[in-house]
Structure 1
Amino acid sequence: MKIIANRMQVNMGQEAEYKRRHDEIWPELSQLLKEHGIHEYRIFLDEETCALFAIFMVENPDRLIDLPSNPIMQKWWAYMKDIMPSNSDFSPVSTELKEVFYLP
């Protein structure tokens, strides 16, 4: 199992909408993520800066390679692009974070 962490951003003033959309996450998206081996996906919000910190566990990171091309994933990104910085393919602008400390 590998832990992956990312930093993203939600547009200022869109924090409640971001949470609402995730509270109502599509069942087919949840299923897709689970089918790709993703577990314990969490997203945290820094309310002062609107920075998002996402962390999840994945059984095999190689299984994530085709996730961006999946139509469900592309539809979700298109749905979210109006409330967060996005790339030209509508994926969220994201920076993978390096683990620097672990307390077992």
Structure 2
Amino acid sequence: MRLPAPIGEAWDWQLAAACRDADPLVFFHPDNERGEPRASRVRAAKRICRRCPVRALCLGYALESGEHHGTWGGYTEDERRTLHRQATQHERDRGSGAD
């Protein structure tokens, strides 16, 4: 049995990403990074994301895949967890008729 070939189109958005030539360390924090060094790195990552033409696709990928690390689509790990919680709560509310 052969595995299906990878679908390149699913990843093509990355070719247009503003971060493509940036230092990946801007988007992923080192162990024990805290305070101003972390805040400064996050600000730098978000500046790159703000000008990115595929920002929404990047964020969508991170949310769908459950990406736990790094800044994706202009959102940090904590911000994506908040988005996920809000979406989950919204779905629960819709299911219970609370909308």
What is the TM-score of this pair, normalised by structure 1? 0.28
Which fold has the larger relative contact order, with Cα–Cα distance below 8 Å and residues 6 or more apart in sequence?
A: 1
Q: Please identify which structure carries the higher strand content.
A: 1
Larger Rg: 2
Q: Please identify which structure carries the higher helix content.
A: 2
